[in-house]
């Protein structure tokens, strides 16, 4: 347990340029505190001590502003940056070395039992305010832009952006997005769609001009004949 805590703290310190030392992370980072308390709550949850598990989770939420259901499964090296308003549901699963910013929700849809929250792969970056809703997989090395709403499965090594998130590019960088922490150099999906529409309009205009020329030529031949 303590070894895992130390490794988590080292991982956070190495990825956050604001961190001056591992000890600063251990004593002053609410995201780290939330993960440590979740590991305690999750251990109680697995032993079917549900009330105690929820009590620890509730105390963690009160202290950190981060709500993690004790049933959620979290891998090593999770970095919850700032963290206020983060909500992680009961059947959510998070892989190794992921980064989550404030205001993120890993939520469910409907009232069905069983798996109803997302599964997040390794090395994933989830930007501030993003909402990932439903029991689907987000692949490894995915970047989810700030404010995105993700409702469908996301393939590995892609970047998704938008109010109904869509893939805007394949990732070519070998550096994990959860380490890069770049949330701003993302393509604009609306601008991309507008460009596609403009190209289609240009092609339609060219086709119409060609048709007009053909009609004029045909009329001229008829008159001459």
- Give the model confidence (pLDDT) of 53-83 as tens digits: 999 999 999 999 999 999 999 999 999 998 8
Q: How many domains does the chain have?
A: 2
Asked if 109 and 147 sit in the same domain, the reply is yes
Asked if 42 and 83 sit in the same domain, the reply is yes
Asked if 92 and 152 sit in the same domain, the reply is yes
Asked if 110 and 192 sit in the same domain, the reply is no
Least confident range of 91-95, 120-124, 195-199: 195-199
Average pLDDT over residues 26-33: 95
Boundaries of domain holding 193: 188-225
Q: Taking a C-beta distance cutoff of 8 angstroms, is the pair 53, 70 a contact?
A: yes
Higher pLDDT, 125 or 202: 125
Asked if 99 and 24 sit in the same domain, the reply is yes
Structure tokens at 194: 């507008």
Q: Does the pLDDT at position 223 exceed 60? A: no
What is the Cα–Cα distance from 102 to 98, expressed in whole angstroms?
Answer: 13
Size of the chain in residues: 225
Asked if 211 and 178 sit in the same domain, the reply is no
Q: Render pLDDT for 157-180 as a digit per residue (tens, 0 to 9).
A: 999 998 888 877 776 666 677 677
Q: Taking a C-beta distance cutoff of 8 angstroms, is the pair 123, 99 a contact?
A: no
Confidence band of 218 (pLDDT split at 50, 70, 90): low
Q: Does the pLDDT at position 10 exceed 60? A: yes
Asked if 182 and 194 sit in the same domain, the reply is no
Instruction: Judge if pTM exceeds 0.75.
Output: yes
Largest CA distance in the chain: 96
Measure CA 142 to chain center: 7
Asked if 98 and 201 sit in the same domain, the reply is no
Q: Does the pLDDT at position 40 exceed 90? A: yes
Average pLDDT over residues 115-141: 95
């Amino acid at each position: 347990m303590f070894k895992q805590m130390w490794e988590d703290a080292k991982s956070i310190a190495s990825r956050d340029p604001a961190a001056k030392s591992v000890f600063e992370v251990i004593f002053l980072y609410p995201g780290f505190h939330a993960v440590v308390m979740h590991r305690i709550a999750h251990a109680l949850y697995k032993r079917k001590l549900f009330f105690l598990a929820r009590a620890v989770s509730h105390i963690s939420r009160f202290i950190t502003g981060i709500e993690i259901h004790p049933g959620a499964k979290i891998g090593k090296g999770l970095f919850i940056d700032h963290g206020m308003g983060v909500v992680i549901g009961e059947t959510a699963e998070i892989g190794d070395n992921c980064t989550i910013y404030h205001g993120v929700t890993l939520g469910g849809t409907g009232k069905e039992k069983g798996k109803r929250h997302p599964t997040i792969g390794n090395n994933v970056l989830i930007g501030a305010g993003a909402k990932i809703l439903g029991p689907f997989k987000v692949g490894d090395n995915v970047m989810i832009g700030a404010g995105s709403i993700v409702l469908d499965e996301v393939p590995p090594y892609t970047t998704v952006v938008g109010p109904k998130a869509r893939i805007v590019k394949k990732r070519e960088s070998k550096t994990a997005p959860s380490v890069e922490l770049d949330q701003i150099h993302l393509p604009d999906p609306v601008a991309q769609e507008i460009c596609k529409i403009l190209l289609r309009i240009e092609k339609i205009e060219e086709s119409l001009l060609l048709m007009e020329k053909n009609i004029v030529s045909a009329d001229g031949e008829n008159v001459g004949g």
